[in-house]
Amino acid sequence: MKIFRPNGLPTAIGSMPNTDPEEAYSLLVQYCPDIPVWPQLPKRSFYENMYVQFSEGFPGIVIEDERIYVTRDGDADMTLEKLYTAYLENDIDQYPLGEKYASGFHTFLRNSVKSPLAVKGQITGPISWALTITDENRRSIIYDDELADATAKLIRLKAAWQERELRKLAPTTIMFIDEPYLASLGSAFVAVSNSKVVRLLEEVFEGLEGLKGIHCCGNTDWSILLNTTVDIINFDAYNYANSFILFADDIKTFLERGGIIGWGIVPVVDEDRQKETADSLCDRLKESIGRLEKKGISLDLLMERCMITPSCGLATSSVQAATDVLMLTANISQRLRKRC
């Protein structure tokens, strides 16, 4: 694949506080016109919750009273066989995103996006999804090897279907795997091996043809992710830049093979954002990039393989706060590109 050089352009994580998909779409296209992203709208419906949204078709899935879980009763074995057959045949049409589950996605497809450099989609990653979804006994399905494997295969098929649809809007696609639970790896509450994490992530990545990214809004062992086949690492640079920079050697190797860093420099928490300005955040970002330069990474390389994003999704923000975050993101991108 030809190396993608975003050169500090802005994009967003995806989740928005709006309930009107057209309104959310308009905001994202206004502030991220070069790399627009479809809006996830969890406040619109429980079905658009980031874990429910990609559950349609999973073996034994039950959604009732705003609870989602897996049961082995009924036709679970039959739907599991259907999933594996579709996986082996790469039949992605069996696992689309229905409009009930993703109104923002279908709104995005119906509207014309004017000559974007790339279009971005996103899907909940297999680690976070399988840690959140439980069986009838409220045990996370990631600890059931068969269901964990089925999770990665379902996410792979849905991501590939989404990618194919997005390619109708632009030849370059970016598919983010959203993995908030990677911040819990190594804790007493999440007993998942690094090898299992990599295996499940790579299962999804192997089904994608375009650029593939990971978004993690907490701190984690970045060396694990930097050494996968991922193309873009997007992280909360406002809170965790110091921790990320500790992995400078892995970052350098990652960038030199064509990798991209998505700097989530704009805080989504109101209290943090109200203390900052576009200038202060731009200075904060430049300071972090400068520290990597001092560790032997070319500034030109850091700048051409740089994207600017909010630190996390905006679903819990007000519409005005979300607008402010997107405006700041675009503003910082513009200032950074002028300065550098």
Model confidence pLDDT, tens digit, residues 126-164: 999 999 999 988 999 999 999 999 999 999 999 999 999
Q: Can you give the pLDDT at residue 188? A: 63
Q: Can you give the pLDDT at residue 192? A: 85
Residue 132 has a CB neighbour count (10 Å cut-off) of: 18
Q: Are 101 and 56 in contact (CB under 8 A)?
A: yes
Residue 280 scores a pLDDT above 80? yes
The pLDDT of 25-34, averaged and rounded, is 97
Distance CA(220)–CA(32), nearest Å, equals 27
Q: Can you give the pLDDT at residue 191? A: 83
Q: Can you give the pLDDT at residue 308? A: 98
Q: Are 124 and 200 in contact (CB under 8 A)?
A: no
Q: Are 211 and 174 in contact (CB under 8 A)?
A: yes
Q: Which two tokens stand for residue 294?
A: 């001092």
The three state secondary structure string of 90-132 is CCHHHCCCCCCCCHHHHHHHHCCCCCCCCEEEEEECHHHHHHH
Q: Which two tokens stand for residue 297?
A: 């990474």
Q: Which two tokens stand for residue 256?
A: 């030199």
Distance CA(174)–CA(307), nearest Å, equals 12
Q: Can you give the pLDDT at residue 338? A: 83
The pLDDT of 22-29, averaged and rounded, is 97
Q: Within its chain, how far is the Cα of 321 from the centroid?
A: 21
Long-range contacts made by residues 133-140, C-beta under 8 angstroms, separation at least 24?
Answer: 133/51, 133/55, 133/58, 133/61, 133/68, 133/69, 133/70, 134/69, 134/70, 135/69, 135/70, 135/71, 135/72, 136/69, 136/70, 136/71, 138/69
The pLDDT of 175-181, averaged and rounded, is 96
pLDDT band for position 190 (cuts 50, 70, 90): confident
For 72-95, what is each residue's pLDDT tens digit?
A: 887 778 899 999 999 999 999 999
Q: Can you give the pLDDT at residue 156? A: 98
To the nearest whole percent, how much of the chain has pLDDT over 90?
90
Q: 3-state class of 161 per DSSP?
A: helix
Residue 186 scores a pLDDT above 80? no
For 231-276, what is each residue's pLDDT tens digit?
A: 999 999 999 999 999 999 999 999 999 999 999 999 999 999 999 9
Residue 215 scores a pLDDT above 70? yes
Residue 304 scores a pLDDT above 90? yes
Strands across the sheet containing 211-216: 9-10, 306-310, 260-266, 232-235, 211-216, 173-178, 119-124
Who wins on pLDDT, 308 or 1? 308
Topology of the domain covering 9-56+91-339: TIM Barrel (3.20.20)
The pLDDT of 163-190, averaged and rounded, is 90
pLDDT band for position 1 (cuts 50, 70, 90): low
For the chain, the average pLDDT equals 95
The pLDDT of 100-104, averaged and rounded, is 97
Q: Measured in Å, how far apart are the chain's first and last C-alpha atoms?
A: 26
Q: Which residue ranges make up each domain of the chain?
A: 9-56+91-339
Going by the DSSP 8-state scheme, the letter that residue 307 receives in this structure is E
Residue 319 burial (C-beta neighbours within 10 Å; 0-12, 13-18, 19+): middle
Distance CA(105)–CA(37), nearest Å, equals 9
To the nearest whole percent, how much of the chain has pLDDT over 70?
98
